[in-house]
Amino acid sequence: MPAKERYSALKGKLVSPRREVGAVLVVGGGVAGMQASLDLVDNGFKVYLLDRSSAIGGVMSQLDKTFPTNDCAMCILAPKLVECGRNLNIELLTLSEIESISGEPGNFEVKIKRHPRYIDPEKCTGCGECARHCPVRAINEYNEGLDLREGIYVRYPQAVPRSYLIDRDTCVGCGLCENLCLANAINYNDKERIETIHVGAIILTPGFSAFDASRKKEYGWGKYANVVTSMQYERILSASGPFAGHVMRPSDGKIPKKIAWIQCVGSRDVRIGNEYCSAVCCMYATKQAVMTKEHEADIEPTIFYMDMRCYGKGFERYYVNAQKNSGVRFIRSRVASVEEDPETKDIIIKYETDGQLKEERFDLVVLSVGLEAPSKSEELADVLDFDLNQYSFAKTHDSSPLATTREGVFVAGAFQGPKDIPESVMQGSAAVAEAAALLANARNTLIKEKKYPEERDVEGEEPRIGVFICHCGINIGAYVNVPEVVEYAKKLKYVVHAEDNL
């Protein structure tokens, strides 16, 4: 049975002949959205990859390491970023939102609202000269408010597209960047515009929003300087973060001796309406504690938890190893109160365990915040006309967990429900299979073929080899003397250049 008829039979509907469009709109440029985009191109479909942010990458771009392998998050993400940015059949629609939709499965007309960047991405070379001279400073959202950025900025160093933008809410209009830009990329008169695209299917991968810790006032986030969220702590650990990877207290820049993690902040909590488990908090807290010990061996990490839900591949082993080999202390309890010592800025935690009320002092406290539906999920559902569940995640069919209540609109990743990176990636690929079945007849109708330059005969020419060795933080640098390897490589025959990178 052909793919289109098979898909229709599964839906239990008779589909009349229609003109199918060989393009798919992917809403959300996180890891699930990028995986879906790359798989769609491999299956012969043009892709429009839309994201509200100025660059794709999503939350994963903010992470330091991933569990349970402790691999560098950016090392995993960067190849996908580059491929999405360079692929002829993926059109990036950043700073964009869906305005309206019409049509039917196989042939949707979507109007896209494009917000102004005030910089021409076709001209911007990403040199950063404008930012170096910008006199304005604003809160850096990417670093979770732990430092400041310029009024003209790029979201993060590896951002795709690598084009700056101007924050007009903070820009004073001094014109300095316009005078400095040799590419003439600055455009203060850039306007919001509406563009229309035609696609056969839509895949929703807008990710999640981290729980707002200020809703749990008893933990003191926003009130006490040394109480941070788990997302803020990821940026503290990151080499590209506000403290260049050094573990420090925000209040005074000192290295903390004792750090506590409080679990289930915004999850499994009836009082705030989030009865569900966020699936990732147990493991990312354990990972952060282990990474903390690798950064500073003398730090004493403690995790206050209700239940440790380490159910994925290698998760239980990682949890046991954290206790036995990394010196992470786990205390099963519910924290009763969090208070600050006004003189030292230390945090005093009162908790109950084994029927006893105890009190302990910590230098830094990390709140393991849960995952909630994206902040604009209700707006997205209204525009695309699909249903949400009681927690504002996408409602899916029992027999088809990737299909929303609107035919032709699929969902993958954390918007379908809280999940980790591997599961999000798998769902991204699975959603592509659904969309490809729907649009089987339109395969390869809109894609462009890559053209290569004419090959040059290099027979007889001397080889020229470049050697680039990465420290990868401590993943490689802790075990290999990278500078020594670089110096050795420089002496090898045909090596014309050798260098090391962080």
Q: Give the Å distances, CA to CA, from 291 to 237, 278, 282, 420, 471.
A: 8, 21, 14, 18, 16
Domain termination residue (choose one: 370, 394, 428): 370
Summarize the confidence of residues 92-108 as an average pLDDT: 98
In this prediction, residue 200 carries a pLDDT of: 98
Domain termination residue (choose one: 352, 370, 388): 370
State the pTM of this model.
Answer: 0.91
- Judge if 349 and 408 occupy the same domain: no
Return the structure tokens found at 422: 């591997």
pLDDT above 70 for 12: no
- Judge if 70 and 202 occupy the same domain: yes
The residue type found at 321 is N
pLDDT above 60 for 189: yes
pLDDT above 80 for 6: no
- Judge if 258 and 318 occupy the same domain: yes
Q: Work out the pLDDT band at 14, boundaries 50, 70, 90.
A: very low
Summarize the confidence of residues 384-405 as an average pLDDT: 95
Q: Is residue 271 part of a domain?
A: yes
> Pairing between strand 152-153 and 165-166?
antiparallel
- Judge if 346 and 216 occupy the same domain: yes
pLDDT tens figures, 339-348: 999 999 999 9
- Judge if 35 and 134 occupy the same domain: no
pLDDT tens figures, 30-48: 999 999 999 999 999 999 9
Q: Is residue 456 part of a domain?
A: no
pLDDT above 70 for 203: yes
- Judge if 278 and 297 occupy the same domain: yes
Q: Is residue 447 part of a domain?
A: no
Return the structure tokens found at 281: 């908090």
pLDDT above 80 for 16: no
Q: Work out the pLDDT band at 8, boundaries 50, 70, 90.
A: low
The residue type found at 231 is M
Q: Is residue 450 part of a domain?
A: no
- Judge if 362 and 217 occupy the same domain: yes
Domain termination residue (choose one: 161, 190, 219): 190
Q: Where are the alpha helices (DSSP H) in 119-272?
A: 129-133, 176-180, 230-237
Q: What span, in angstroms and rounded, lies between the C-alpha atoms of 192 and 213?
A: 33
Please answer whether residues 97 and 82 qualify as being in contact, where contact means their C-beta atoms are separated by less than 8 angstroms.
Answer: no
Summarize the confidence of residues 326-345 as an average pLDDT: 96
Q: What span, in angstroms and rounded, lies between the C-alpha atoms of 96 and 113?
A: 6
Summarize the confidence of residues 22-33 as an average pLDDT: 98
pLDDT above 50 for 60: yes
Q: Which domain holds residue 129?
A: 116-190
* Size of the chain in residues: 502
In this prediction, residue 18 carries a pLDDT of: 67
pLDDT above 50 for 213: yes
pLDDT tens figures, 271-304: 999 999 999 999 999 999 999 999 999 999 999 9
In this prediction, residue 231 carries a pLDDT of: 98
DSSP, collapsed to helix, strand or coil, labels residue 262 as strand
Q: Is residue 479 part of a domain?
A: yes
- Judge if 382 and 476 occupy the same domain: no
In this prediction, residue 15 carries a pLDDT of: 46
In this prediction, residue 389 carries a pLDDT of: 97
* Residue in the block written with tokens 């010592």: 341
- Judge if 162 and 196 occupy the same domain: no
- Judge if 178 and 199 occupy the same domain: no
**Mean of the per-residue pLDDT values for the chain?**
94
pLDDT above 70 for 9: no
Q: Work out the pLDDT band at 187, boundaries 50, 70, 90.
A: very high
237: nearest Cα among 251, 227, 250, 247: 247
Q: DSSP per residue over 129-159, as a string? A: HHHHH---EEE-TTTTTSSEEESEE-SSTT-
Task: Select the more confidently predicted residue: 319 or 18.
Answer: 319
User: In CATH, what number is assigned to the domain containing residue 65?
Assistant: 3.50.50.60
Q: Work out the pLDDT band at 17, boundaries 50, 70, 90.
A: low
- Judge if 111 and 171 occupy the same domain: no
pLDDT tens figures, 483-492: 999 999 999 9
Percentage of the residues of the chain whose pLDDT score is greater than 70: 96
In this prediction, residue 100 carries a pLDDT of: 98
Domain count, the chain: 4
> Pairing between strand 364-369 and 227-229?
parallel
Q: Is residue 458 part of a domain?
A: no
In this prediction, residue 477 carries a pLDDT of: 81
Q: Is residue 460 part of a domain?
A: no
Q: Is residue 316 part of a domain?
A: yes
- Judge if 391 and 430 occupy the same domain: yes
User: In CATH, what number is assigned to the domain containing residue 130?
Assistant: 3.30.70
Summarize the confidence of residues 415-442 as an average pLDDT: 97
Return the structure tokens found at 323: 């206790």
